[in-house]
Structure 1
Amino acid sequence: MSSVIKINAITVPEDSGDQLGERFAARRDSMEGTPGFQGFELLQPTDGRTSWLVLTRWDSEEAFEDWRKSQSFGESHGHGEGGAPKKPVGMSSELWSYTVFTTG
C-alpha cells in the first residue's frame, strides 16, 4: 500500500520554535483513531532555518481531505472549543504533497 505524504512547512519567528513544538506535544495523541491516518512527525530545523516541517502520512488523499473538513481539524487549529482562538505561532505555512516512490 502506498502512503500519501503531506508536509506542512511552517515558518516561525526565530524565538517561537519551542512554542510550536510545545503545542504539537500537547496534542500528540489527538489524531489517534482518525480514519486513514498513519502517523506524523514534527521536524525541527538544525541549520539556522526558521521553518519547521509537520510530516503526516495518510492511506489516501480522501482520508486527508476528510480530516481537513472535520471538527477535530478545526479544534486543533484554534477554530473551536469555546474560548478565544489561540494566536498562531507561525508567520506563514505551505502545504506540500508527496507519495512514496516505489519501483517495479
Structure 2
Amino acid sequence: MSIVKINVLTVPEEQRETLEKRFANRAGTVDGSDGFEWFELLRPVEGTDTYLVYTRWRAEEDFQKWMSGMGSQAAHRGTPQDGSAQGERPKPAATDATLWTFEVVQQAGPKQD
C-alpha cells in the first residue's frame, strides 16, 4: 500500500501568506512524478501555528527518488514571485520542520452510486 509523508511546518502568523504563495507558485511541480498520488497543504484554523504538507506516494522509493532528483530541487528553488532571484533559495517561511512517515493500512472513500 501507499505511504504518506507529512511535513509539519511551524509558521509564524506573519509568514503564513508567504508560505501559501510559495506553494501556489510551485503548484504542479510534483504532480508528474513517478509514484506521486496526492498533495494537500493544510492551514491551521485555531490554536496552533503548524501547517501540514500532506503527500501520498506509491512507495518509499518513489518519494526518495523525487527528493533526490530534479523534481524536489525545482519545487524548492526560488522564483521572482517569492522575492528571491531566479534559482536562489528564499529564506524559509517556517521556523521549524519535521517529516513524519506513515504507511496506509486502511482507507475509505465515499460510496459510489
TM-score interval (norm. to shorter): 0.7 to 0.9
Identity between Structure 1 and Structure 2 (%)? 38
Moved over 6 A (4+): none
- Give the deviation of 1:48 after TM superposition: 2.8
Distance 2:88 2:64 in 1: 26
- Aligned-residue offset at 1:95: 0.2
The Cα of 1:32 is off from its aligned counterpart by 2.1
Report what 2:4 is aligned to. 5
Q: Which has the higher helix share?
A: 2
Structure 2 residue aligned with 1:31: 30
Once residues 97 and 70 of structure 1 are traced to their aligned partners in structure 2, the CA distance between those partners, rounded to angstroms, is 19
What is the CA–CA distance in structure 2 between the aligned matches of 1:102 and 1:33, rounded to whole Å? Answer: 25
Corresponding residue number in structure 1 for 2:110: none
Structure 1: give runs of 5+ residues left out of the alignment: none
The aligned length equals: 101
When the two structures are superposed, what TM-score results if normalisation uses the length of structure 1? 0.87
CA offsets, 1:41-80, max 9 Å, x none?
A: 000001131110000000000000000101221232238x
Pair member with larger Rg: 2
Are residue 89 (structure 1) and residue 93 (structure 2) matched? yes
TM-score in terms of structure 2 length: 0.80
In 2, Cα distance between the equivalents of 1:54 and 1:23?
13
Unmatched 5+ stretches in structure 2: 79-84, 108-113
Cα 1:66–1:50 change in 2 (3 A) is: same
SS across alignment from 1:16: helix
Q: Name the stretch that deviates more: 54-63 or 94-103.
A: 94-103
Taking only aligned residues, the RMSD between alpha carbons, in angstroms, comes to 1.9
Q: Distance in 1 between matches of 2:28 and 2:86?
A: 21
